[in-house]
């Protein structure tokens, strides 16, 4: 069994759901052409995750007293 195997694969002439939705000329591209492509969504989520992880790391360091935020000092200059 592989990742592409499943109940639908037991029937000849069927297509895996992921390929139907986002494959070449998939359902999203045909029926929702103005939506982002899957790869663009993955890139955006990756960027957001990296920013979120950075935010969590800085908050953790501030909480432990290892790092103090100083962005507010820039506003006082």
What pLDDT is attached to residue 3? Answer: 56
**pLDDT the model gives residue 7:** 53
Contact of 14 with 8, CB cutoff 8 Å: yes
What confidence score (pLDDT) does residue 70 get?
59
The whole-number mean pLDDT for each consecutive block of 10 residues of the chain, a chain of 77 residues, reads 55 80 82 84 88 82 66 52
Per-residue confidence (pLDDT) for residue 25, from 0 to 100: 81
Q: How many helices (H) and strands (E) does the chain have?
A: 4, 0
> pTM for this structure?
0.49
């Amino acid at each position: 069994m592989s990742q592409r195997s499943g109940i639908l694969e037991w029937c000849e002439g069927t297509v895996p759901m992921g390929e139907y939705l986002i494959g070449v000329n998939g359902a999203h591209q045909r029926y929702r052409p103005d939506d982002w492509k899957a790869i663009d969504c993955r890139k955006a989520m990756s960027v957001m995750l990296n920013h979120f992880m950075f935010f969590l790391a800085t908050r953790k360091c501030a909480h432990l007293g290892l790092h103090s935020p100083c962005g507010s000092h820039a506003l006082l200059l």
